[in-house]
Every structure is written in structure tokens, then in C-alpha cells.
Amino acid sequence: MRGSPVWNHFQKVRKCVCEFQQVVSQPHVCVKTQLIAECLLCRVLVKHCGNTSNAVNHLWIHHQDIYQQIQPSLAKKKKKTA
């Protein structure tokens, strides 16, 4: 399991932001890429900048059952950092 339980439901991928606009699974010659994560539940692509904020929001809005399962561990992490 990666650092946050949120990543159990997402796969990090890079998306090319050049004129081809393609998801990059292999190293790509384009240096303009965005960090995105694909939801493993519905295959929606979500921007992530290295954190889990957008992924957590996606789960909260679209997958309430999963969000309810991971919410206690997210609350514990917030208490540790506060």
C-alpha cells in the first residue's frame, strides 16, 4: 500500500499536453506533461500535483461508499499533521 489509502483506488499516469493530447504509458518525447491519476473504479482522469486532494474529492462526490471506508484513516493523518 502506498502512503495514502486513496492511492489504492487510483493509478498515477502522465498525460501529454502537447498537440497530440494522449495518455502516456511509455516514456514520451514530449516534455509537457500533466500529473494525473486514473480512478480504478470509473476510469475518470483526475489531476493530482503529487497530493491526494483532487482524488479525495472525486471519491467523496462519485464513490461515497469508498470515501466512507477510507475517511477514518484520512482523519487520523490530519490529526498527526495538525
Residue ranges per domain, the chain?
5-72
Average pLDDT rounded to a whole number, residues 18-24: 57
Instruction: Supply the mean pLDDT for the chain.
Output: 81
Query: Can you tell me the distance from the alpha carbon of 36 to that of 39, in angstroms, rounded to the nearest whole number?
Result: 10
Query: What is residue 15's predicted lDDT score, i.e. its pLDDT?
Result: 72
Q: Report long-range pairs for 38-42 (Cβ below 8 Å, ≥24 apart).
A: 38/10, 38/11, 38/13, 39/9, 39/10, 39/63, 40/9, 40/10, 40/11, 41/9, 41/66
Q: Tell me the whole-structure pTM to 2 decimals.
A: 0.73
Which residue in the block uniquely carries the three cell numbers 484513516? 73
